[in-house]
Structure 1
Amino acid sequence: MKLQQLYSYVRQAIDDYQMIADGDQIAVGISGGKDSLTLLYALSGLRRFYPKKFELAALTVDLGFDHYDLSEIRQLCKTLDVEYHVIKTKIGEIVFEERKESSPCALCAKMRKGALNDYARQIGCNKVAYAHHMDDIIETMFLSMFYEGQFYSFAPVTHLDRSGITVIRPLMYVPEANVIGFLHKYHLPLVKNPCPADGETKREYVKQLVRQINLENPGVKKRIFHAICTGRIEGWNINGKQ
């Protein structure tokens, strides 16, 4: 995927769901993975020509694990002219040593999001951009059906009343395969996830299941995504229209 195609996907999502307003201060959550770095590229480029003016900051939540070298991320942010912040936490210690969670992902995700949103607000941001792409949205829907009995996926735009932060997901129209293509074409500086539970989650199980279903039924992922977009899930109304 070329940069111009990425801009097109992201701008369409921003326009469809009115994700950005004039004067927004947007924090981009950076894990060091392909998705968040692709989102950073997209939004840093869109600043130059999108009709609504906005500012960016890049934020990484450091869970406290060893061997988490963020030097290349710092350099990328410098190249893209985006202010970079690292939020130091002890989330890894709390989840794996103090709480000894057998299924740590839900608690870890909740704590990471809390730390990210709180810090974003402290530095004056009113929005946080998460790097969930099309496949993430589809997988979340399956997880919700399998384990909660609901037809649900997170919304493109979510206002968090307690923090006053609005979460946006500008990569929502981008298939994961295109993100992988962008990663290789532009040589993004990935940082390996140091979490000991990485790759051993229910989400990874669902990811492989959806991949197999799509192999056996080509195009089914796009049809599932269309069903989510039109399925009257709260928050999925384009420009205020269901």
Structure 2
Amino acid sequence: MPIDYARNYEKELVNWDNIFKYLNQFPLFHNNKTQQKFLEAWKKEIIHSENQSYQNFSMKVISENEHFPLKILFGGIWLGWSALNIDKIETIIYNEYNQELPVKIPISQFLDEHKHLEGKTWFEPTDKIIYYPKQVGEFSYIPILVFNPSFPYLFSAVIDGSHRVKTAVAENHSDISAYLITEAFLFSHPEIFMDEFSRSIFLFCCDLIYFRNKKYLSDYVLPSKFSKHLQEDSCLFHFLNISWLE
């Protein structure tokens, strides 16, 4: 959201007031004023990026670029889609990262999304790699692309090559070659996001997870030096150059 990259590319209306009210229940900081400033700054950025995505959306760009809608989830709710440009990811990998070899992943590590969601009302965390089943076809040894974050996200996911995984499962292959795409790769290459909102919602999720797990103990008082350190730790400041603790 705001653009449904998973189905029909329609623009969706989101009540960000309700979403941020819900997110405020998660203690990211000990200091309530710090949390308020953090969430208010992110809310402003999310709404701005949403508007930019609306204005710049083009079906021509969509049709010319293979892309993958990555689910962005936090605290049991779906924050939106972060659409990744597969063509640009592959260009970067093959041109800039050609010194790195793909890894072998056991087929037992993959889990069909439909099976994972059976009987569940929300997306539960899993240590398996989620793939999105398509029709079985001729197997290809071209490495697949896997989003494999190092931070505690809910799951890893196949972002390109789900049909190869399904074929490998059907043909009882023992493993499959893959390039692992971490958040560091996405941080370094903003051009791989399909629009501004896709990048902002991904960075927002990274910030939420980081501060939820950081356990700051000294932000009760927030002396100026610590305040600066806290701000510089955020994606909001580091990647989007937004000062939120002033």
Q: Judge same fold: TM > 0.5, yes or no.
A: no
Structure having the higher strand fraction is 2
Name the larger-Rg structure: 2
TM-score (norm 1): 0.30
TM-score (norm 2): 0.29
